[in-house]
Structure 1
Amino acid sequence: MVLVGRPLDHRSGRRIPGALALALAVPLLGACTEQPSFLVSWELDDGQTAEGIALSPVEQCSTVGVSRVRITTMAGTCNGDAFVGTDVDTREFACSAANNANNDAVPGPTLEPGEYTVLIEGLRRSGDPWACEHSICELGPDASCTARAVTEVTVTEADLPTHAVTLLSPPQCDDGIDNDRDGRVDGHDPACILDPTGNESADASVTVFQTSVRFLGSAAVQPFNVGIDSLLLEIDGAQLAVIADYELDLTQSPFRLPLLSSGLEPGSYEFSITGVDAALEPVTQPFTVPFSVDEDQAAFLVETFDFTDDRFLAPIIEPISLNTSLRLSPSAVTGPTCELGGFVGGQPITLERMWIRVTDGSQPLDAAALGLTGFAAAGGMITPVDEAGGWISYECPSSTVDSVPLTWGNYDIEVQGRIGDEACFVTPMLTELAPQPFSATQLGLERVLVGDVPPAACFECTSNDNCSGQVCSNNVCVDKVPESNG
């Protein structure tokens, strides 16, 4: 039984030409060389050669991007979709290594009589096979993979069988070749960005738009923070697309828009992008970028647009709103606002004051400029005080602390939670702030350790008696380690 990689040409949809058989062979070296128990040959499809026109092995392999072929012989059986057995032999051959010996086929290993499963894989130039979502037990006409096939071999002392398989050639967008000779290979080609399973040459009349955006020069600022509901994309004033804020890839900055394409006649054009509100009214000035479409080659517009504060039609005026929490353990995501993990005289150990330093990109803002308000955990309102170095301190708060409305550009913040003069918890790095029209910025403070121990003023415990339901370790209350049953 022979299982082929695929019965159809995946590029054109036509049947694979039967005449494109590729015979590869390696000469046997001398009379003392062990004789193979079987031979293997394979055929590849270049996806473009007309029916009945044969390609040489070198042409065929180079056309479809297969560098070498690996043959793995296994002893075992299929248990459902899983193969249960062991590898007996693995060998590789150059894809274009043609030889008239052995009936134009490559030799397998010398084996004891019996039943074997043989996996044939085409390899990339890197030496890796193409990914396959099917197990070897699933491969067949209805479950194919790129450049991969399986055949069952029966070894006897009397026969030297030849097993011929068909390897499905890689799609042009995953063959490592600049098929349309436009200087872009595979995933860098416009057509492949649009359709990774298609042909590079399908892009002659396609213009691809790969754009991304940033707001106020900060990775922390998302569209809703600055009143942008959608992004309006136009070509020469005609709408190309309206991209809602939730369609952006917000996992990395700059935020990438969905890939767009358009079929345009050759000529010169102007692309524009504008931030708009829910009524599609402009919130920003448009960015415009000229581009041209060539008759023989696709256009490929790749741009990042940074909507800085001067591009907004009206100033962005919002307060800074802060919620701080203490990460009492390295795995904690949030925690209490002021209380540490230990107790003295039955009372929880708490931070005394928060110290913050807010900068506008060049210099710190003082207490008067920020106008901070909020409730203190000990009761009453916080009373901000200017400290040295641009810091502002206030009583540890019970909830959100707000500034007066500020005109936004770029703001960064550092926070320390202190007992006396010691910083017990801090923000791990300078944090970019974003306007928060609907909520507060959540800041998690991490414990300060000198070696493995907090500063003396920040001790949570000196014995287990200072911890509730926990144990004291390095002057920090931690969860008990479960006792082993072993």
Structure 2
Amino acid sequence: MLRARLAPLALASVAAVGCAEDPSFWVRWRLQPLTDVDVREPRGLVSVDQCSQLGISRIRISTRDGADTLIDEREFPCFPAGFDDPEARAPGPEVGAGAYSVTVTALGRRGVQFCADEPADPDADTDGSEIDTSCKKVLASAAQDVVIRETGEGQRLPEFVIVGAPQCSDGIDNDRDGYTDLADPSCAGDRTGLEVGDSAGAQVVVRPRLMGGNPSAYCNGLGLSEIELAITGPTTKQLRFPCTTTAQTFTESLDPGDYTLSVTGLGPGGKVLAVPTLDLDITTFTLAPEGFQSVDLVADFTIASFLAPIEAGFEFSLAFLSGSEQLPLTTCEPEPGLVIDRVRVTVLDADLEVVPTAALRDGGDPPIVLDGVATVPCATLGGLPRIEPLVWDDAPMAHEELYLRVEGLAPDSDVACYGNGDEPALAAPNASLGLALPRLAFDGACAGMQP
């Protein structure tokens, strides 16, 4: 089906050699604007409009052998006939068994590769038409290595991702002001810039954090599914992305005027769960006509930012670490003759004081109150014992921070042979903590048997 659907492409590309080919590999590509690289996964190629928006007219496929010798080069329309089928592929050459490098390059309307030049001389009196447009660095290309096992095997390569050139290098009048690329005053001679034309614009980088950067916190554990950036002003926009701690970048065209930015954390169904406090000096700004604002915004979803308390526990796994060169062991006899028969588990608040209402559920037994004295048999702590739900909030009797202290005790002794007493583990709602308890004591009941 695929070969029949794209047969005209294959015949057109091999007409010069006067014979039909049995492709050794098949190629497909995706396109992604440069401004979306840090925002979302590239969408599939479904329309020729995606090519037009990035100024791409054709795609060149170059194949080199293991000696880096170019053995085949062919071109296709950016959106070939038949590519409306997401399973369709463009044919590569027929090559023998061996290792090859395949490069997919985007070509502009003038049939040249997208490129970036050095910035123009800022003191030069020019409208941009005299600027050298020769290529020095290819921006819109991608390469893959491929191993062909036999001639004409028809291997389907993973999709190539072509990242478009910056707006000041893409051959398009992006802002429709009659000026293109370096001839546009907003580019200021910089091929890596944005065309903003008569309208204003802003680039907003949102850097989400969870509980002040708590490494145990994660979005689902806090109930967050999406994050929304709201731009309020003469132009109003709401931009959503899946909850993540990876920075997200948005570049938007805006009308001149006064603007305010806000960020909210959303749960299932778009319900607002949290509103982090933001720096007002950063989130409010004024855009002049043809102006451009760059904003780097840290949005910390602290417990205090949630509109309602979170009731959640957390679980942990346990191992004993006898030395820096040793592997952590989950057995209750981590060294010959040294038996850990009891474990003291304590939940601490932000001041590292015991939380007397904390309780441990281990299997089907009733919860064990963790008052700082009670111990649990080591043998029962296999798997993932769980701390019963507590209230996370900034209100009195609730907790913005919780820590877990665990100590392994030898028989008939209250001395901790292993433990994290000096560095209790920072917990988070619904977190799963992996604890490797270091050796603390080496004599008395903690000495074990000498070989």
TM-score, L = length of structure 2: 0.50
